Amino acid sequence: MDALEAMAVEALESLPAPFREAVKDVPMVVAEFPDDILMEDLDLESPFDLLGLYQGVSLRDKANADLPGEPDMVFLYRRPILDYWCETGEDLYHIVRHVLIHEIGHHLGLSDEDMDAIEAA
């Protein structure tokens, strides 16, 4: 486990228990960049445009899904996160935690306001 992965695990462990419990079976993957297919699907101009991604169907929408889709996963993109850190000077742990909360929030079907409240707690 490298430093960014360890930071992501620490950030996950800092979240409220119900939040952690809801994602205990959702793999968290740290990749260098989003792949070319994802870049094309999201119409990204640069691989640095995406810090993280939730892949899957939110828990809110799963009950309405007819067929199972792709497996639920949370991706953190190392190089874009590190680039953002260098550009902004923000605390790296804070950035990783923010991206993680945002992507897990998508899994849970939370609003941006819900995610902001969790992050502030």
Domain count, the chain: 1
Note the pLDDT tens digit of each residue in 34-89.
999 999 999 999 999 999 999 987 777 666 655 566 788 999 999 999 999 999 99
Strands (DSSP E) contained in the chain are 28-31, 52-55, 73-77
| Burial grade of 23 (CB within 10 A; 0-12, 13-18, 19 or more) | buried
Q: How many CA atoms lie within 13 A of 91 on its CB side?
A: 6
- What CATH number did the domain enclosing 81 receive? 3.30.2010.20
Q: Which domain holds residue 93?
A: 3-120
pTM of the predicted protein model:
0.86
Q: Which residue has the higher pLDDT, 33 or 68?
A: 33
